[in-house]
Amino acid sequence: MNNISTLKDKKVIVFGERDDISGNCLSTCLKSAFATIIYEATACFV
Amino acid sequence: MNHYPVVKNCAYCLIHAPDLVRYGSKPQRELAQTPAIAAELQSHIRPFSRAVAYPPNQTFIGNISPDLLAAIPRPWYLHQSDSETLETTGPFGEIMDQQTFYGLLKLADIFSPPFFEVEKAALETLGKAIATHPLLSDFSDRFREIQPAEPNYLAGKRRANPCLTLQDGDKVCGYFFGDLRSEGKDDENLAPNFLLENLASKASGTLALKHLIHRENISPEKIDFLISCGEEACGDRYQRGGGGMAKAIGQMSGCVNASGMDIKNFCAAPSSALVMAASLVQAKVFQQVVVVGGGSLAKLGMKFQAFLEHDLEILDDCLAAMAFLVTVDDGQSPIIRLEPGAIGKVDIGASTSEESVFRHYLLRPLESLGLRCTDIDRYALELQNPEIMEYSGSGDVARKNYRKIGAMAVLAKQLEKQAIQSWIDTVGMPGFAPTQGHIPSAVPYLGHAVEAIRKGEMRRVMFLSRASLFLSRCTDLLDGVSFLLERNPGLK
C-alpha cells in the first residue's frame, strides 16, 4: 500500500489496449492509488 | 422436447484485392502524406496464386480445418500448396480474383450516373468473368446491358471530378466517382472512397449470400429476413450510418420476399446479429433468417507498413465476407441455446477489467446453463490471423484470449492451473481470418463447428466476440457477446 500511495500528486498518462488491459481499467486502478489521470486512451489494433 | 433455432448453413468468401489495398484507410492516409511509398507498396503485393495457396485463407473457405492449420509450420506465407491446381473454391465458398470482383462491383452499382465507370476495353473482360462464374452467370444479361464509358466523356468527367482509379495489375479497369449530383457533390459522406467502401461491402456480401443460397440449395425467395452485420456506414450527411445494406444485398441476390435491417456492434456485430436472428426465429416472427457481413475496404492494408518494413508481401490484401442461415429446428443442425441467461453479455455497469468481462460473457452464461468451462469442446474467440498481427507488434490475439479463458477456468475452480496449456491446446485454435474488423470475431469458426457437430466430432462450441465501443467516441465501454452452439438433441 505504501508503494501505491506514492502515486499521490502524480500525473499519469494511460494507454490501454482492447485485447489486453483497457485504459479505463488502468485508470480506475491508478485513481484508487490517488494518481491524477491527465490523459487516457484505449487502442484497438484489430 | 424443447425446440431451438438452428444454424443450418454457412458461407465464407475472400476476395483477393491487391489493387484496392491502396484505398484502405491506413495506406490511403500514408500515401497522401508520402506519395513515394506507392511504388514500394506496389512491389509488395501478393499474386492471386499465393493468396489462394495461403493456408489461413484455405482454412477460411473450409478446405483445411483449424487443426490442420495448427499443424502447418509457420511462417504460413512460405507454405506452398500440395495441389497443382489452385483451390479457389472450398466447402464454404471461394477465393475470388480481383477482376471478377470488379465485375460484381459494377453490378452492385445501381446509381445513375454510375459511380464505377468501366473503361471500354475492360468491360468485355469483366463481363466474361461474370458470365463464366458458376454462381454469377444469372447476372450476365444485366451485365450485357451495361454501356462502356465513352472515352471523351470519361476524360472530361475525370478532369472535373475526384475519382479513384481501379486497376487490375497494370491495366486500368475504370474509375470510381462520388455522387456528382448537386445534392451529393459537397457531401463528404458521398465521396468516392466512402461509396467504394459501401459498394465493396454490398458486392462481397452478395457473393457470400449467393454461396449460402447455393450450398443450401434453396430459392432466394424462401428467405424471410436479412440482417447485415458489416462495418460500413452507408448514408449521406444527414444520416451517415443509417443502414440499408441488408436489403441492398438481398435485392441484388433476388431475396424478393425478404425484408431486412442492419445491426451495428463493431466487431461483435455478427454474433449480435446471430443472436437476433435466432431470437426472431424462436419467437416465430420469421422462419428463415440470413445474417450477412460484407468486407471492409477500410481495413485493407491496415498493417501494410509492417510488411514493408520486414520486406514481406502484404498479407492483409483480402476482403472477406460471410453469410449464415438461421432457421427453425430441423432436428439435425446445431442449435443456439436461448434460455434466459444463455446469451453472454457485458453489462453497462460492469468493469472493463478482463476478469470482469470474461466473468460476464464466459462464466455467467455457462453457470446459468449448468455447465462448466470444461464442458465446452471448443471456444471460438477473436480469430485474427496472427501472421498479420505479429509483424506490426500487435501480438497473437487469439492465443492471448485463450490464455485468459484458461485463467478464468482456473479462477472458477474448474481447471487445475498446471492443466491450462494442455486444455488450451484442446479447446483452442489458431486465428485464420484476415483483419477485416467484424469478420474475425469468433464466427469464422461457425462453419467448421456446424460441420464437426453434425458429424458427431464435438458437442458444444462457445463463441465469444468483442467490440471496441469506445471507438465511437461516445463511450469508454467495450462489449462482449457470446452464444453456445450445441448438437441438436433430435440428432440420432
Please tell me which of the candidates A18, A21, A40 has its beta carbon nearest to residue B466: A18
The whole-number pLDDT of residue B85 equals 72
pLDDT per residue over B30-63, tens digit each?
A: 999 999 999 999 999 999 999 999 999 999 999 9
* CB spacing of A19 vs B351 below 8 angstroms: no
Residue that the C-alpha cell 448514408 belongs to: B235
First-last CA distance in chain A = 36
Amino acid at B203: A
The alpha-carbon gap from B244 to the nearest alpha carbon of chain A, in Å, equals 25
- Confidence class of residue B103 from pLDDT cuts 50, 70 and 90? very high
- Residues B309-325 have a mean pLDDT of 98
A45 contact residues in B (CB cutoff 8 A): 389, 392, 394
Among B15, B14, B20, which Cα is nearest to B176's? B20
Q: Does residue A1 or residue B112 have the better pLDDT?
A: B112
Burial class (CB in 10 A: 0-12, 13-18, 19+), B419: middle
Please tell me which of the candidates A21, A28, A44 has its beta carbon nearest to residue B468: A44
Give CA separation, A7 vs A2, A37, B352, in Å: 10, 11, 22
* CB spacing of A42 vs B470 below 8 angstroms: yes
The alpha-carbon gap from B348 to the nearest alpha carbon of chain A, in Å, equals 13
B354 contact residues in A (CB cutoff 8 A): 20-21, 25
With a CB cutoff of 8 Å and minimum separation 6, the contacts of B79 are B53, B54, B55, B72, B73
At B145, list the grid cell.
446491358
Q: Among B22-26, B117-121, B257-261, whose mean pLDDT is lowest?
A: B117-121
Amino acid at B396: D
- Residues B54-78 have a mean pLDDT of 96
Please tell me which of the candidates A25, A42, A46 has its beta carbon nearest to residue B267: A46
Highest average pLDDT, of A19-33, B1-15, B77-91, B422-436, comes from: B422-436
> Is B479's pLDDT higher than 70?
yes
B466 contact residues in A (CB cutoff 8 A): 18-19
The alpha-carbon gap from A30 to the nearest alpha carbon of chain B, in Å, equals 13
CA B123 distance to own-chain centroid: 28
A 1-46 residues with CB < 8 A to B: 18-25, 28, 40, 42, 44-46
Interchain contact B24–A (C-beta under 8 A) = no
> Is A14's pLDDT higher than 60?
yes
Among B396, B473, B403, B465, which Cα is nearest to B437's? B465
B401 contact residues in A (CB cutoff 8 A): 19
**What's chain B's average pLDDT?**
96
The alpha-carbon gap from A14 to the nearest alpha carbon of chain B, in Å, equals 13
Quick check: B48 and B97 in contact, CB under 8 A? yes
* CB spacing of A46 vs B352 below 8 angstroms: no
Quick check: B314 and B268 in contact, CB under 8 A? no
Q: For an interface test with A, which of B432, B473, B476 has the most A Cβ atoms less than 10 Å from its Cβ?
A: B476
- Percent of chain B residues topping a pLDDT of 90: 95
Q: What is the pTM of this model?
A: 0.96
Please tell me which of the candidates A21, A25, A46 has its beta carbon nearest to residue B382: A46
Of all residues in chain B, the one with the smallest CA distance to A44 is B468
Q: What is the DSSP letter of A8?
A: T
A22 contact residues in B (CB cutoff 8 A): 352-353, 470, 478
The Cα–Cα gap between B36 and B86 comes to 34
pLDDT per residue over B274-292, tens digit each?
A: 999 999 999 999 999 999 9
B468 contact residues in A (CB cutoff 8 A): 18, 42, 44
Residue that the C-alpha cell 471492409 belongs to: B296
ω into B75 cis (within 30 of 0): yes
The alpha-carbon gap from B473 to the nearest alpha carbon of chain A, in Å, equals 11
Strand B318-327, strand B288-293: pairing? antiparallel
Q: According to the 3-state scheme, what is the secondary structure of chain B?
A: CCCCCEEEEEEEEEEECHHHHHHCHHHHHHHHHCCCHHHHHHHCCCCHHHHHHCHHHHHHCCCCCHHHHHHCCCCHHHCCCCCCCCCCECCCEEEECHHHHHHHHHHHCCCCCCCEEECHHHHHHHHHHHHHCCCCHHHHHHHHCCCCCCHHHHHHHHHHCCEEEEEECCEEEEEEECCCCHHHHCCHHHCHHHHHHHHHHHHHHHHHHHHHHHHHCCCHHHCCEEEECCCCCCCCCCCCCCCCHHHHHHHHHCCCCCEEEECCCHHHHHHHHHHHHHHHHHCCCCCEEEEEECCCHHHCCCCHHHHHHCCCCCCCCEEEEEEEEEECCCCCCCEECCCCCCCEECCCCCCCCHHHHHHHHHHHHHHHCCCCHHHCCEEECECECHHHHHCCCCCCHHHHHHHHHHHHHHHCCCCCHHHHHHHHHHHCCCCCECCCCCCCECHHHHHHHHHHHHCCCCCEEEEEEEECHHHHCCCCCCEEEEEEEECCCCCC
The number of residues making up chain A comes to 46
- Residues A26-41 have a mean pLDDT of 93
Please tell me which of the candidates B351, B397, B435 has its beta carbon nearest to residue A19: B397
- Confidence class of residue B86 from pLDDT cuts 50, 70 and 90? confident
Interchain contact B352–A (C-beta under 8 A) = yes
* CB spacing of B353 vs A42 below 8 angstroms: no
A46 contact residues in B (CB cutoff 8 A): 267, 382, 384, 389, 394, 397, 435, 437, 440
Strand B344-345, strand B288-293: pairing? unpaired
Q: What domains are defined for chain B?
A: 335-486 (3.40.47)
Q: Does residue B79 or residue B384 have the better pLDDT?
A: B384
A vs B: CB pairs below 8 A? 49
Quick check: B327 and B339 in contact, CB under 8 A? no
Q: What is the DSSP letter of A22?
A: -
The Cα–Cα gap between B138 and B31 comes to 39
Please tell me which of the candidates B384, B470, B478 has its beta carbon nearest to residue A46: B384
Interchain contact B476–A (C-beta under 8 A) = yes
With a CB cutoff of 8 Å and minimum separation 6, the contacts of B427 are B376, B377, B378, B379, B402, B405
B386 contact residues in A (CB cutoff 8 A): none
Interchain contact B265–A (C-beta under 8 A) = no
The reply to whether ipTM tops 0.90 is no
The Cα–Cα gap between B468 and B491 comes to 38
A32 contact residues in B (CB cutoff 8 A): none
B351 contact residues in A (CB cutoff 8 A): 25, 28
The whole-number pLDDT of residue B239 equals 95
* CB spacing of A24 vs B382 below 8 angstroms: no
pLDDT per residue over B184-234, tens digit each?
A: 989 999 999 999 999 999 999 999 999 999 999 999 999 999 999 999 999
Burial class (CB in 10 A: 0-12, 13-18, 19+), B324: buried
The Cα–Cα gap between B208 and B295 comes to 10
pLDDT per residue over B408-459, tens digit each?
A: 999 999 999 999 999 999 999 999 999 999 999 999 999 999 999 999 999 9
Quick check: B322 and B293 in contact, CB under 8 A? yes
